[in-house]
Amino acid sequence: MTDQPVKGPASYFPSIEKTYGRPIAEWKAIVRAAYPAKHMELVTLLKAQHGLGHGHANAIVAHTLAEDKG
């Protein structure tokens, strides 16, 4: 069995945690607390209220919404 590199939004998670000093679980909790907002509304919230860059905010939102969609 070989270790496959992480792909998609989760590939940003180590950089997000290092850059902003919070675990991904906390960012996901912030996103979920703002439900039922739409994708871009959630991205804007993370950027405006928490100073995340667009790519990092988008990765967190996309991954969280995909998890919750089932």
Q: Give 3-70 as a DSSP string.
A: PPPP-GGGGGHHHHHHHHSS-HHHHHHHHHHTTT--HHHHHHHHHHHH---HHHHHHHHHHHHHHHH-
Tell me, yes or no, whether 19 lies in a domain: yes
Domain assignment of residue 49, given as a range: 10-69
Q: Which two tokens stand for residue 38?
A: 């739409």
Tell me, yes or no, whether 5 lies in a domain: no
Tell me, yes or no, whether 54 lies in a domain: yes
pTM of the model: 0.90
Number of domains in the chain: 1
Residue type (1 letter), 45:
L
Tell me, yes or no, whether 31 lies in a domain: yes
Condensed to tens digits (0 to 9), the pLDDT of residues 34-69 reads 999 999 999 999 999 999 999 999 999 999 999 999
The contacts of residue 12 (CB under 8 Å, 6+ apart) are: 55, 56, 59, 60
Tell me, yes or no, whether 50 lies in a domain: yes
Tell me, yes or no, whether 3 lies in a domain: no
Tell me, yes or no, whether 20 lies in a domain: yes
Condensed to tens digits (0 to 9), the pLDDT of residues 5-19 reads 888 889 999 999 999
